[in-house]
Structure 1
Amino acid sequence: MTPPNDTSRRWPAEWEPQAAVWFSWPHRRETWPGHYPPIPEAFARMVRKASDYLPVRVLAADKLAVTAGAHLGPSASIEIVDLPTNDCWIRDYGPTFVVEDNELIGIAWRFNAWGGKYAPWDKDAAAAQWICERIGVRCEMSSLGLEGGAIETDGQGRLLVTPGCIETATRNPDWTRQMIAEEWKLRLGIEQVVWVDGGGLEGDDTDGHIDQLARFVDPQNVVCAVSDHSQDVNHRGLEANFEQLKRWGQQTQPKVTIHRLPIPPARYIDDSRIPESYTNFLMLGGRAVLVPTFRHTKYDEAALRLLRELLPGQEIVPVDAYDFAWGLGAWHCASQQQPAVRPAVEAAVQPAVEVARQ
C-alpha cells in the first residue's frame, strides 16, 4: 500500500507517550557464543524494569513462553505473545510505527538479517506484519532493506542515519541516496536526512547503526558516542561523527546542541571487541530511560550524570548490560516502542496477546 505523499504523517519520537514496548525473548544461543547462560535473567531484569513504567509485550513461542514466564514472573504489566522468532533484536525487525491523522500505522521494512549475515531470518522478517495484524493497525510493506536501529528521529521530521548500514550491496543494491530519502519522506514524513559518515564501532555487526552512535534526547539535544582514548580504534571515527553533527546542529532549525557521551574502554571476549555504547538506551515515553551500564564505574556514572542533566523530568535507570552486550547490542536494540495513538477503527482491534501465566 502506498501512503499519500503529504506532511500529515509523522514518526513520533521515543520520548512521546507510548502504549506499550515490545520485546523478543533471547533464545538464539549463537548470538552469545559460549556465554549464553546469564542472558535470560539479564534480559528479564531489563524487561521487569520497563514494566514498572509501561505495559510490555514479549514475543516467545511454545516452550519459550514457559521459560520467559518463569524468568519474568507474574505481572499485570507483562504479556507474553505467542510468536516464533529467529533472534531477539526486535528493534531491527519490528514495525516502525507512524501516526497519520490520529491513525497508528506500522511500517514493515524488508529485513534480511543485516545484509544476510545470520540465517535463517524468515520468522523475524514476518514479525512486523504479524504484530500489526494482532493489534489491529494497518501495515505498510516497504521494499527498502532497513533495520529499525539504523534510523533515529526527533519526532519533527529530522532523521539521523549512517550510510554504511543502508547503502550496501547486500541490503539495497539498486537504491540511490535520493530514492532512500524519498522513501523515508513517504513512509515516515521525514523532511531532513543527516547522513553521519564518520564511522561505527569496532565489533558492531550492523555496519554502523545510529543507535550505537548518536541519539536525540529532545528536539534540541543529541548525545553522541565518543572515545576519550586517542589510541582506541574508535576514536577518530567517533570524533568525526561528533564534529559533523556539531556543524549540522548549528545550521539546522531549530538548532541542536551535540553532547559528548564517552564509551567505556575497550573490552574483549574471545579476542572480539564488544561494541559498548551508552547511546543504546531505551526511552520509555517520557517517563524513564533505561541506560545500559557496563561495570565500569567511572564511565557508567558519567553517562548517567549527563542524561540526568539533560532529562531532569525523567527517571534515569541504570540496567546492567555487561553480559548482554556480548550479543553486540543492548536495550535499544532489543526493544520497539508502540506510540500511544488510538487506532483508526477501534472495533477492529483484537486482543494483542495470549498471556502465559506461571
Structure 2
Amino acid sequence: MSSTDEPTPSPAELPSSLGYRLPAEWEPHEATWIAWPRNKEDWPGKFGPIRWVYAEIVRYLSRSERVRILVGSGKAERRAADALEKSGVDPDRVEFVRHRTDRGWLRDSGPMFVVRDRSHGAEGEPPPVALVDWKFNAWAKYDNWTRDNRLPRFVADRLGMTRWAPRTTIEQESRRVVLEGGAVDVNGLGTLITTEECLLSHEQERNPGLDRAGYEQLLRDYLGASKVIWLGRGIVGDDTHGHVDDIARFVDETTVVACVEENEGDPNHGPLRENLERLREATDQDHRPLRVVELPMPAPVVFDGQRIPASYANFYVANSVVLVPTFNDPKDRVALGILADLFPGRVVVGIHAVELVWGLGTLHCLTRDQPKGPEPSAG
C-alpha cells in the first residue's frame, strides 16, 4: 500500500493521469460497505427498529454481493449477527470489520474507490482499484466526525490499496479538501453531477475560498470528471445542505432521473423544476444531450414537527438488486415502476424507510460500493 498524503502529487502522479476514474454505481462490485447503527442520536426516539431495517437491507444486499459491516466492538458484532441471523441472512455472505465510527453514513465518510481501466497486470503497473480519501467534517455542521474521518485510511490499510488524500492551496495555505460521496454522482465516463448549494454556498461551507473552477479541477484530477454539471439547490430537510443523491442520479451512461414535485405550493417545487431544466439543457462528456426521466417526490414526511428529506432518488444500485426507499405513499409504486423499467437486469426492491429517514438519510447515504475493477487484459 502506498499513501500520497504528502507531498501533493505531481501532475503525472494524479489519479486521472494514471487512468483512474470514479466508476458508476452499476459497474461490478467487489462488496458493499455499511456501518451497523450505533449512534442513538441519529434516530432520537426511533432507534429501536433501525437495526431491523439494516438487517433487511443486508438480507437483500448479501444475495447480490459480499457485505462488509463495520462494528465498534465484539458486543456490537454479536448483536448485529443475532439480528442478521433472525432475519435469515447467510453469515457466509457478510464480513464484520472492527472499526469504531462516529456515525454510519458511509456514503459521505467512507472512501471513494476509483478504478483504472488500462490494467494489463504488468509488474509495477498501478493497481486496478485504489481510493481517494477526502476529508470528512460532518457536513460542516456537527462536531462528532474525527473517527469517521479516519475511515478511508483504515480501509486503505486493510485492503492494501493506494490512497490519495487531496489537498489544495487557498490563500497560500495548503489544506485537505472536504468532499462527501453524496455530493456527487457520475456516469462512469467522465460526467459528474453536483449542486451549487452544497459546494459553493457560504452556509455549511466545506472549503472556504475554493471556487467553482477549483472544484472542477479537483474533480477532474482525482475522480476523472472531465465534465461537471452544476444543479442548483437540494430538497427541504436535507441537513447536508444540498446533496445531489436526493435529487438527481445517473441510471446509465446517458440517462438521469430527476426528482420533481408537482405541488406548486411545496417549497421543493421551484428548485426541483430548475434542476430539471438544467439537466434538460446539459450535455455529457461527449457533448451529447442527456435523457432525463422524471421521478416523483413522496408526500412530505414530517416527524416531531420536522420536515424530513424523503426522496426516492436515494436508491442504491448493487450487482443484482436496486434498493429503493419507500414511505407508505401512493407514489411508492410509481417510483418503483420507473426504476424497474430503467434497471431491467436487476431486481428493484422497496425498503420501508419511514423510520430510517428520521436519521436524515436512507439507502444511498448509508452504503459505500467497493468496485471489483477491470480484469487484467490478455497479452
TM-score, length of structure 1 as denominator length: 0.91
Query: Which residue is equivalent to 1:273?
Result: 307
Which whole-Å deviations, capped at 9, do the CAs of 1:151-191 have from their partners, x for residues lacking one?
A: 10000000000022222453100212111111111111110
* 1:92 matches 2:104: no
Residues in 2 aligned to 1:190 and 1:205: alpha-carbon distance in whole angstroms:
26
Query: Which residue is equivalent to 1:329?
Result: 361
1:253 CA drift (Å): 3.0
Residues in 1 aligned to 2:284 and 2:84: alpha-carbon distance in whole angstroms:
45
The one of 180, 186, 191 equivalent to 1:147 is 180
1:341 CA drift (Å): 2.1
Residues in 2 aligned to 1:7 and 1:237: alpha-carbon distance in whole angstroms:
38
1:6 CA drift (Å): 2.6
Structure 2 contact 226–285 (Cα < 8 Å) conserved:
no
**Secondary structure of 1:332's partner?**
helix
- Residues 197-276 of structure 1 aligned to structure 2 (within 5 Å): 197=232, 199-249=233-283, 253-276=287-310
Query: Which residue is equivalent to 1:69?
Result: 81
1:75 CA drift (Å): 1.4
**Secondary structure of 2:249's partner?**
strand
Query: Which residue is equivalent to 1:189?
Result: 224
Structure 1 contact 137–343 (Cα < 8 Å) conserved:
no
Residues in 1 aligned to 2:300 and 2:186: alpha-carbon distance in whole angstroms:
28
**More displaced stretch, 162-171 vs 70-79:** 162-171
Residues in 2 aligned to 1:11 and 1:105: alpha-carbon distance in whole angstroms:
10
Structure 1 contact 151–211 (Cα < 8 Å) conserved:
yes
Letter in 1 for 2:101: T
Letter in 1 for 2:83: H
**Secondary structure of 2:32's partner?**
strand
1:254 CA drift (Å): 3.3
Query: Which residue is equivalent to 2:173?
Result: none
Letter in 2 for 1:281: F
Letter in 1 for 2:24: A
Instruction: Count matched residues.
Output: 340
Residue 252 to residue 104, structure 1, CA distance change in 2 (3 Å):
closer
Residue 250 to residue 120, structure 1, CA distance change in 2 (3 Å):
closer
**Secondary structure of 1:66's partner?**
helix
Residues in 1 aligned to 2:294 and 2:18: alpha-carbon distance in whole angstroms:
33
1:43 CA drift (Å): 1.4
**Secondary structure of 1:224's partner?**
strand
The one of 322, 336, 339 equivalent to 1:289 is 322
Residues in 2 aligned to 1:99 and 1:165: alpha-carbon distance in whole angstroms:
26
**Secondary structure of 1:16's partner?**
coil
The one of 175, 188, 191 equivalent to 2:210 is 175
RMSD, aligned α-carbons: 1.7
Percent sequence identity over matched residues? 37
Query: Which residue is equivalent to 2:170?
Result: none
Query: Which residue is equivalent to 1:355?
Result: none
Which whole-Å deviations, capped at 9, do the CAs of 1:86-127 have from their partners, x for residues lacking one?
A: 001000010001113432111010110001x22221110000
* 1:82 matches 2:98: yes
The one of 12, 26, 30 equivalent to 2:41 is 30
Structure 1 contact 89–334 (Cα < 8 Å) conserved:
yes
Query: Which residue is equivalent to 1:313?
Result: 345
Query: Which residue is equivalent to 2:146?
Result: 122
Letter in 2 for 1:328: L
**Structure 2 runs not aligned, ≥5 long:** 120-127, 167-175
Query: Which residue is equivalent to 1:348?
Result: none
Structure 1 contact 7–189 (Cα < 8 Å) conserved:
no
1:250 CA drift (Å): 8.8
Structure 2 contact 36–104 (Cα < 8 Å) conserved:
yes
Structure 2 contact 322–347 (Cα < 8 Å) conserved:
yes
Residue 25 to residue 324, structure 1, CA distance change in 2 (3 Å):
same
Query: Which residue is equivalent to 1:352?
Result: none
**Secondary structure of 2:101's partner?**
coil
**Secondary structure of 1:76's partner?**
helix
Letter in 1 for 2:154: W
Residue 342 to residue 243, structure 1, CA distance change in 2 (3 Å):
closer
Structure 1 contact 145–166 (Cα < 8 Å) conserved:
no
